[in-house]
Structure 1
Amino acid sequence: MEKTEEKASFKKFIMLIKSTNVKKGLFFTGVFLTLIGTAGSLIVPLLTQMFIDGFNTDLITAPLAALIIGVFLISAIIDGISYYMLAKIGQTVVKSLREMVWDKFLRLPVSYFDKTKSGESVSRVVNDTSIIQNLITSHFPQLISGILSVAGSIVILFFLDWKLTLIMFIALPISIVAIMPLGSRMQKVSKKLQDETASFTGSIQETLSEIRLMKSFNAESYEKIKGNKGINELFKYGMKEAVINALLSPIMYTIMMFVIILVIGYGGLRGAAGTMSIGTLVAFLLYLFQIIMPMTMFAMFFTEYNKALGATGRIIGILEMENEKSAADTEELLTYETLSFNNVTFGYDKTPVLENISFTAENNKKIAFVGPSGSGKSTIFSLIERYYSVWDGEITIDNTNIENIPLDLYRSGIGYVAQESAIISGTIKENITYGLTAGEYTDEDIKRAVQQSYTSEFINDLPEGLETEVGERGVKLSGGQRQRLGIARAFLRNPKILMLDEATASLDSQSEKFVGEALNELMAGRTVLVIAHRLSTIVNSDKIYFIDSGHLTGEGTHEELMASHDMYKAFTAQQFGED
């Protein structure tokens, strides 16, 4: 898999959050309300002190009790509002992050997806962003209120009794020594857990997408073993994470209980000596709880923060990858009159697949490519689609290097009908119009494309017609029906360059005859490129190119190659039974 992870830091985490254009006004309003709510909660212990100590019995009245309850309720309401506002910020940030990552995936080159399982990419959009969402939505609002509560409580405690406050600070170095090693370990475990989650997601998605292959070859046992292995890995790292969390909570609880015991013991002695009132001791304990609760939450925040750093590194790694190469906008009008390969060399990784390939395909001409399997024919189509950039040489349209043409403009003039047409889950209509906006076609255009591709033969027999759901990857349709949908899609797109990769291979003889006639109509007036496996699809080509092991070894009409190219003649005889 291609490495897409950056080493994350707090600075990069903040930069990632800023890149989502978070609403600062809403954020600071939420923080301000949190400050007010926390201030209100800080007043309650002081009122309690007054209530308990009482200068005289006349002050211990219902209005004072009502004031304490009122301050508490108002504080709780303000806390709720501020939490909602900060949670909304978190949800908005994660929404923006998911949009950014999804948009990035759509713009990454095909080479990235060649090396990365689709499930792992899905995990980046869903799982990694969810980790950041959990930090921002659940833990960050608590962190802000917790910091304010701890800081305010400490200041008030110093005014109440500075000697007793110093005892509380014994817990700080002990907490730091206990938490830091566990936090570092949590970061490593969380990273492994997230990586395993992405890998497992990719594996099960791959298995489920090829469920028919699995069942046809009785591979249930194999997939069960492979799936259980992934599940056990997730369990192992999940338990490691649980151990760390199980250690953190008792450690923090023990430290804080130790502090409480010290405070109660020392405060009791002070109270017995008459140097501290009972109200002050109770207020001190209330403030101490306002410190203890956030401190235990800080430990959880620290573990979630380390998780989020791992997710941040992966997200930044993806966002910083190079997009599929495009060019600046141009006003140049493309006619697609001539497509040329000029000494093109290309390969995958470091292995060349095509070497010094040159040919020209002109408008209203049919060009065919033949040769043994693996010779590079499909790679030529991939380069024309600009899935990859050539290593050497250039591909031109109307003498313009295709790398200098904006991708959307360039690809709008190309139609591709593969040997097995790709079908998306949705309706027949959605498949035919895929990639086009509503303003780019009319219902009449769809009707014409359906008739020309002979798709109407089976659509008219369906109760819901064009609105029929085809299922995931078109499982509710036959191979021939899926193929005709692909052809209908090409008709509707009305491309200038049409590429056919044995487009009638999945059709029965009757459908092949009809669709063959439709394709002849579709090919009229266009540049047509055909990868041929059947003799009937190439004999009428204007020019045939023979590709062998990435080299162009012959060109001409069928008759010319039969007369001059021994390998083509032998290939024809072997593949098609021709002499």
Structure 2
Amino acid sequence: MLKIFKYIEKHEWGFIAISLGLIIIQVWLDLKLPDYMSNITTLVQTEGSTVSDIVFEGGWMLLCALGSLVSSCIVGYFAAKVAAGLAKRLRGEVYDKTLSFSMEEMNDFSTSSLINRTTNDITQVQQLVAMGLQSIIKAPILAVWAILKIAGKSWQWTATTAGAVVVLLVMLSVIIIFVIPKFKIIQQLTDNLNQVTRENLTGLRVVRAYNAEDYQEDKFEEANDELTNTNLFTNRMMSIMQPGMSLIMSGLSLVIYWLGAYLINEAAMIDKISLFSDMIVFSSYAVQVIMAFMLLTMIFIMLPRASVSAGRILEVIERETNIKDGTYDLETSAVSGELEFKNVSFKYPGASDYVLHNVNFKVESGETVAFIGATGSGKSTLINLIPRFYDVSEGEVLVDGINVKEYKLETLHSKIGYVSQKATIFSGTVESNVDYGENSKDDSIDEVGKAIEIAQAEEFVDSLDGGYQAQIAQSGANLSGGQKQRLSIARAVYRDPEIYIFDDSFSALDYKTDRDLRKALNDEGSGATSIVVAQRIGTIKDADKIIVLDDGEVVGIGKHRELLRTCEVYQEIASSQLSQEELSYA
């Protein structure tokens, strides 16, 4: 938890120092009130006292109360400012760190957990800091000062107050022992509920298509009930706190007055007024002591959950990324768009078996190279090594003759136009989704139009209400699969990269659109290299080079006709997709 405080800025520590001073003033003013009350009690019992004397003492009480109120408001303002600033920076740190994660780290945390850590966990820390600056600092000062005030008044009253504090601490200990372990479970269950909810919402069409509403509802109810039951347990345990505190405070006051009545009854007449005044003052100070422990109680309630949340936040921020940034940052080089795999083998973190085995090939600048193979043969895994979504386990990947590990990630990514297997569309407009590919460009509407034209998306974009400014829903929910793919391709084209990477990005396109798009890419591609993962032989048979993968190994490299003669795996794929006439013609 203490590590979180290093994210508090220097000027905010100044606010904390000011708050400390104001809290000391506030406590002094609060503890002066019983003194004035004692004076008023004495004046009422003393012959010759005037109303003006009592009003004068009451005026000082009023000023003390107002001073305490003003100090409390200022401290609350500073506490809120420090807490909000800390939460802002923590959200920024978690978000920035998440952006630097490789696929390995993303898989370790899960999307739902990262969302929860960015929102719910940081809110828990923010609430603790906001309350803590007011309570953690004030409570010990108030408790010690009040105890010093009442020390020596009466050993009976002092022993009673100490007994009340012991009872309070026992109650707190029991609650904390049973509740603290549950807080970490609550955060994990919140992650799970978040995940179930996201799956249901993102897969709503599939849920409805398979009449799985009841199944999903049961799944949600199970996660919801588990979280609810755990929350109920902790809240029921915590609910003992408030009535327990009221019982202790009321019981303490009752015992003090009962003892006071006994002491006053046994005292000499001259001491009765003094004892009565002391009883009133002691009662007020004793309540202040209990209030101080009550403030600490509030922190003890919040601290366990906030500590768990702080640990989860730091787990993200302090996570070492496996993909280290290189130092090479020259965007231009002697060769452009050249790609080479040298003895590359790869296995996923924690896995025992290799997904890729000793892969070797070279792609010359401007070539179109296609990868084909059965599902699970390692095609997507292989191309994910180029932009360093993962790093190779053995061997090296070279872009323009330089190992990708030596590049600065920003420089490497600027050379690549990547279109993922699942089209990713952002909420916004058609234009914002296309120029996302190079979001620093200005006056880009002509280039956006050209990219949309090359991607064969012009017809459907023109039909949208607003054209380039047409609103796109989150995840492209108001677009078809083919439309989303074409916008994703337009995004890559707009970037004008050295290397295009298409990870099965034409699967939702019909053959005519596919053919027209590839022709436009070849005509307008400015000599860029194209890396294509495909399932359909008909869409890649004109590639300069086709690489056949089988169980993570390269089993054939060549052109379409050559592979039909020499590669058994390619022959099997071709015979399952092409007619006998097409095979004979080839």
Output the TM-score relative to the length of structure 2.
0.92
Please identify, of 511-520 and 25-34, the stretch whose mean Cα deviation from structure 2 is larger.
511-520
Residue 39 of structure 2 corresponds to residue 39 of structure 1: no
The residue type paired with residue 496 of structure 1 is: E
The 5 Å alignment of 1:131-530 reads 131-158=124-151, 160-161=153-154, 164-272=157-265, 273=267, 274=271, 276-335=274-333, 336-348=336-348, 349-434=351-436, 436-439=438-441, 442-530=444-532
What is the CA deviation profile of residues 366-421 of structure 1, one whole-angstrom value per residue up to 9, with x for unaligned ones? 11111111111111111112111111111112332111111111011111223442
Matched residues in 1 for 2:415 and 2:234: separation?
53
Tell me how far 1:361 sits from its aligned partner: 0.9
Q: Is the partner of 1:340 in helix, strand or coil?
A: strand
Matched residues in 2 for 1:224 and 1:34: separation?
51
Tell me how far 1:249 sits from its aligned partner: 3.1
Tell me how far 1:476 sits from its aligned partner: 0.7
The residue type paired with residue 251 of structure 2 is: F
Tell me how far 1:211 sits from its aligned partner: 0.8
Tell me how far 1:576 sits from its aligned partner: 2.6
What is the CA deviation profile of residues 169-211 of structure 1, one whole-angstrom value per residue up to 9, with x for unaligned ones? 1233333333223212211011111111111111111111111
The residue type paired with residue 286 of structure 1 is: S
Q: Is the partner of 1:373 in helix, strand or coil?
A: coil
Please identify, of 542-551 and 261-270, the stretch whose mean Cα deviation from structure 2 is larger.
261-270
Residue 72 of structure 2 corresponds to residue 79 of structure 1: yes
What is the CA deviation profile of residues 334-385 of structure 1, one whole-angstrom value per residue up to 9, with x for unaligned ones? 4344211111111222231110001111111111111111111111111112
Note closer, same or farther for the CA distance 1:528–1:24 as it changes in structure 2 (3 Å cut). Answer: same
Q: Is the partner of 1:156 in helix, strand or coil?
A: helix
The 5 Å alignment of 1:57-68 reads 57-58=49-50, 60-68=53-61
Q: Is the partner of 1:370 in helix, strand or coil?
A: strand
1:101 touches 1:315 (CA, 8 Å); kept in 2? Answer: yes
Q: Is the partner of 2:325 in helix, strand or coil?
A: coil
Residue 111 of structure 2 corresponds to residue 118 of structure 1: yes
Note closer, same or farther for the CA distance 1:444–1:167 as it changes in structure 2 (3 Å cut). Answer: same
Tell me how far 1:440 sits from its aligned partner: 6.2
Q: Is the partner of 1:330 in helix, strand or coil?
A: coil
Matched residues in 1 for 2:509 and 2:428: separation?
22
1:369 touches 1:547 (CA, 8 Å); kept in 2? Answer: yes
What is the CA deviation profile of residues 399-451 of structure 1, one whole-angstrom value per residue up to 9, with x for unaligned ones? 32111111111011111223442111222122112253334663332232233
What is the CA deviation profile of residues 304-332 of structure 1, one whole-angstrom value per residue up to 9, with x for unaligned ones? 11111111221222222122513343354
The residue type paired with residue 499 of structure 1 is: I
Matched residues in 1 for 2:510 and 2:540: separation?
19
Output the TM-score relative to the length of structure 1.
0.93
Tell me how far 1:237 sits from its aligned partner: 0.4
Note closer, same or farther for the CA distance 1:328–1:553 as it changes in structure 2 (3 Å cut). Answer: closer
1:189 touches 1:241 (CA, 8 Å); kept in 2? Answer: yes
Q: Which runs of 5+ in 2 are unaligned?
A: none
Tell me how far 1:147 sits from its aligned partner: 2.4
Q: Is the partner of 2:347 in helix, strand or coil?
A: strand
Note closer, same or farther for the CA distance 1:19–1:350 as it changes in structure 2 (3 Å cut). Answer: farther
Note closer, same or farther for the CA distance 1:312–1:435 as it changes in structure 2 (3 Å cut). Answer: farther
Note closer, same or farther for the CA distance 1:509–1:389 as it changes in structure 2 (3 Å cut). Answer: closer
Note closer, same or farther for the CA distance 1:145–1:159 as it changes in structure 2 (3 Å cut). Answer: same
1:474 touches 1:482 (CA, 8 Å); kept in 2? Answer: yes
Q: Is the partner of 1:433 in helix, strand or coil?
A: helix
Which residue in the other structure is 1:8 paired with?
Answer: none
Q: Which runs of 5+ in 1 are unaligned?
A: 1-12
2:419 touches 2:502 (CA, 8 Å); kept in 1? Answer: yes
Matched residues in 1 for 2:407 and 2:233: separation?
52
The residue type paired with residue 475 of structure 1 is: A
2:26 touches 2:68 (CA, 8 Å); kept in 1? Answer: yes
Matched residues in 1 for 2:323 and 2:195: separation?
27
By relative contact order (CA 8 Å, sep 6+), the higher-ranking structure is 1
1:504 touches 1:516 (CA, 8 Å); kept in 2? Answer: no
Tell me how far 1:509 sits from its aligned partner: 4.6
2:337 touches 2:499 (CA, 8 Å); kept in 1? Answer: no
Which residue in the other structure is 1:9 paired with?
Answer: none
The residue type paired with residue 24 of structure 2 is: L
Which residue in the other structure is 2:96 paired with?
Answer: 103
2:329 touches 2:411 (CA, 8 Å); kept in 1? Answer: no
Q: Is the partner of 1:421 in helix, strand or coil?
A: coil
The residue type paired with residue 505 of structure 1 is: S
Matched residues in 1 for 2:441 and 2:510: separation?
35
- Identify the match of residue 29 of structure 1 among 18, 42, 46: 18
1:342 touches 1:358 (CA, 8 Å); kept in 2? Answer: yes
Tell me how far 1:61 sits from its aligned partner: 3.9
The residue type paired with residue 446 of structure 1 is: V
Matched residues in 2 for 1:304 and 1:96: separation?
21
Tell me how far 1:251 sits from its aligned partner: 3.5
Note closer, same or farther for the CA distance 1:166–1:302 as it changes in structure 2 (3 Å cut). Answer: same
Matched residues in 1 for 2:156 and 2:225: separation?
53
Matched residues in 2 for 1:333 and 1:517: separation?
27
Note closer, same or farther for the CA distance 1:73–1:24 as it changes in structure 2 (3 Å cut). Answer: same
The residue type paired with residue 243 of structure 1 is: R
Note closer, same or farther for the CA distance 1:328–1:567 as it changes in structure 2 (3 Å cut). Answer: closer
Which residue in the other structure is 1:3 paired with?
Answer: none
Tell me how far 1:527 sits from its aligned partner: 1.4
